[in-house]
């Protein structure tokens, strides 16, 4: 951690990294650490596929010390203000949504994300329960053409898991940064977490080399590749563990090491 004095922002993925997939509330340890980071002038940035409403609720006790990379980098927020947004071309977003819907063997549901609303094409397979669980603002639709705003992300929720569908969807939609985002999710967006963290750094005047970032999945690669100090969860796929030398059982342990190094 010899470079720790240079860190000015800490970014972290949520689901599978700061949170277990069945966990709804952040632990007091990370909340205390975010306050301690702020006392040293270090910003904390949740970097997630979740929308702003969900993230703001989750980090409510420390939101004043955070900036938010939402929708896998599609929308950036600070103090309820949009710092930057990367919409998808509308026709492409609708084409991807229909492909996910029609070619997931009846086992996929589709979520299209606006600036702060999730638009759900439902089959009753569990997606809506998950969206309620994480606290997104949402509404149900039958056709992507009904969405009255820019679309920043299109996702498919796969009831039986992503394994049987990765080869079907990820290569086909590489132009839209298709990536596995969790055990049951594949996301597409014209942003990614790397684009998001670069834009955030520009907005805040922070160098990428001054950023520590945590992730656990393939949709975190662009962020981990962009920053000066990437760190991967020990639970990540072997391919990812081989790609990044710094591993951790939980981000709080590594953040504590950073904080300890900053003590006088």
List every span in the chain annotated with CATH 3.40.50.1000. Answer: 4-86+192-261
Neighbouring CB atoms inside 10 A of 126's CB total 15
187 in Cβ contact with 195 (< 8 Å)? no
Residue 4 has a pLDDT of 47
**Burial class of residue 252, CB neighbours in 10 A (0-12, 13-18, 19+):** middle
CA distance 134 to 127: 11
Residue count of the chain: 264
pLDDT value, residue 264 = 60
pLDDT given for residue 21 in this prediction: 80
Residue 27 CA to residue 234 CA, distance in Å, equals: 19
For residue 121, the surrounding DSSP H or E stretch is strand 118-121
> Mean pLDDT in runs of 10 for the chain (264 residues)?
70 93 90 98 95 95 97 94 95 98 98 96 97 94 98 97 97 94 93 95 96 94 96 94 95 97 82
At the topology level, CATH places domain 90-188 in: 3.30.1240
Q: Give the pair of three-digit tokens for residue 180.
A: 């596995």
Alpha-helical regions (H) of the chain = 28-39, 52-58, 90-102, 127-134, 166-169, 193-204, 221-226, 238-243, 251-261
What pLDDT does 263 receive?
84
Spatial neighbors of 144 by CB under 8 A, at least 6 apart, are: 93, 94, 97, 98, 112, 119, 121, 151
Distances (CA, A) of 41 to 44, 82, 97, 160: 10, 22, 41, 44
CB 189 within 8 A of CB 88: yes
Confirm or reject CATH 3.40.50.1000 for domain 4-86+192-261, answering yes or no.
yes
Q: Indicate where the chain has its CATH 3.30.1240.10 domain(s).
A: 90-188
- Sign of the CA dihedral 70, 224, 176, 20? negative
């Amino acid at each position: 951690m010899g470079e720790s004095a240079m860190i000015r922002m800490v970014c972290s993925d949520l689901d599978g990294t700061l949170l277990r997939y069945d966990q709804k509330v952040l632990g007091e340890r990370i909340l205390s650490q975010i306050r301690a980071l702020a006392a040293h002038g270090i910003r904390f940035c949740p970097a997630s596929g979740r929308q702003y409403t969900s993230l703001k609720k989750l980090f409510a006790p420390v939101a004043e010390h955070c900036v938010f990379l939402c929708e896998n980098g599609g929308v950036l927020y600070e103090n309820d203000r949009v710092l930057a947004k990367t919409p998808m071309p509308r026709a492409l977003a609708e084409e991807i949504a229909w492909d996910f819907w029609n070619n997931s063997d009846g086992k996929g549901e589709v979520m299209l994300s606006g600036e702060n609303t999730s638009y759900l094409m439902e089959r009753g397979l569990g997606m809506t329960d998950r969206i309620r669980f994480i606290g997104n603002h949402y509404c149900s639709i039958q056709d992507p053409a009904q969405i009255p705003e820019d679309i920043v992300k299109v996702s498919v929720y796969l009831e039986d898991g992503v394994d049987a569908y990765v080869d079907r969807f990820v290569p086909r939609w590489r132009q839209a940064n298709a990536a596995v985002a969790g055990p049951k999710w594949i996301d597409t967006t014209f942003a990614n977490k790397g684009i998001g963290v670069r834009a955030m750094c520009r907005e805040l005047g922070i160098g990428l080399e001054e950023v520590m970032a945590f992730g656990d999945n393939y949709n975190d690669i662009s962020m981990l590749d962009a920053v000066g100090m990437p760190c991967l969860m020990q639970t990540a796929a072997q391919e990812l563990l081989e790609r990044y030398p710094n591993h951790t059982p939980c981000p709080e342990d590594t953040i504590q090491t950073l904080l300890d190094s900053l003590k006088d």
